Amino acid sequence: MKIEKVQDEYAWELWQARRDEAIVTNRPLVERPFHYRNTVHPQKYYDLYACIGWPTEVTDKDDGKPGYIAIVGIVKNNRLPQESVFQLLAEIEQRDIQSLLSKFVELRAEYGFGLHPGLLQTLFGDPDRFITFLALMNEGLTAKGGERAAILVSPPDDFYSGKVFDNYVRALKSCLRAENPRLFFGKCDILKNRVREFRRDDPVVMGIGGLCHSLLSRCQWMDQTRENLFVVEEEGDENDVQTA
């Protein structure tokens, strides 16, 4: 496994202290009492997210564009957590739906799935495409690992707006701008080789662009102070926390 979870010994006390301080100072967000560490190189993350761009429609002219899945880490920034940069950790392309989802199952196992409730269980993407394929995949996954093993697909922010592709291209380009970039490629080449030209409904843009748009819209790797989102898991580590 390339990711490990690092949690403070007194997670509840630390989280409550941070929350109280944030409320007193009128801050809406509070850092969680745990993070993730990369075991391959010295990098730490507040959280990890995954996205999917489904393969485009097959026509009589071509086989469409392959589907795309990526995993992104929110690099830990102790000074300004809200301005953390995004590290592209892994990405895959496949035309076949079952192969694409199977590859994701392998990838998420490498990048910490199971270390914390909900970690890499959800893909940001179109929840209405290939529902049957996803249901069949989840049937096999849950039979082996229970409900938490299922793959969930959640729409990125503004997914159902009329300007969804335009929004996602702009968010992606904003994260890749030369001055103060937010998204870094690492050793990943698929997105890197596509940044010069984005074609309409490109699965790469719909996947990683939708994720970037959502991350820029909401600081999802931190907890809100205006409501209690702290939940102690009934099973597993007694110090585990989960945000709603």
| Residues 53, 63: Cα–Cα separation, whole Å | 16
Residue 225 has pLDDT above 90, yes or no: no
Residue 104 has pLDDT above 90, yes or no: yes
205 Cβ contact list (under 8 Å, min separation 6): 53, 165, 168, 169, 172, 198
End-to-end CA distance of the chain: 26
**What integer pLDDT is reported at residue 53 of this predicted model?**
97
3-class SS of residue 40: coil
Nearest Cα to Cα of residue 190 among 175, 208, 173, 168: 208
User: What backbone phi and psi angles, to 5 degrees, belong to 29?
Assistant: -125, 150
Q: Which one-letter amino acid corresponds to residue 12?
A: W
Q: What is the pLDDT of residues 119-169, one digit of tens each?
A: 999 999 999 999 999 999 999 999 999 999 999 999 999 999 888 999 999
Average pLDDT over residues 83-102: 96
| Residues 238, 195: Cα–Cα separation, whole Å | 44
Q: What is the pLDDT of residues 1-39, one digit of tens each?
A: 999 999 876 666 765 666 676 666 666 567 788 899 999
Torsion of CA 224, 230, 233, 234, to 10 degrees: -150
**What integer pLDDT is reported at residue 211 of this predicted model?**
97
Hey, what domains does the chain have and what are their CATH numbers?
A: 34-223 (3.30.420)
**What integer pLDDT is reported at residue 200 of this predicted model?**
84
Least confident of 50-59, 75-84, 220-229: 220-229
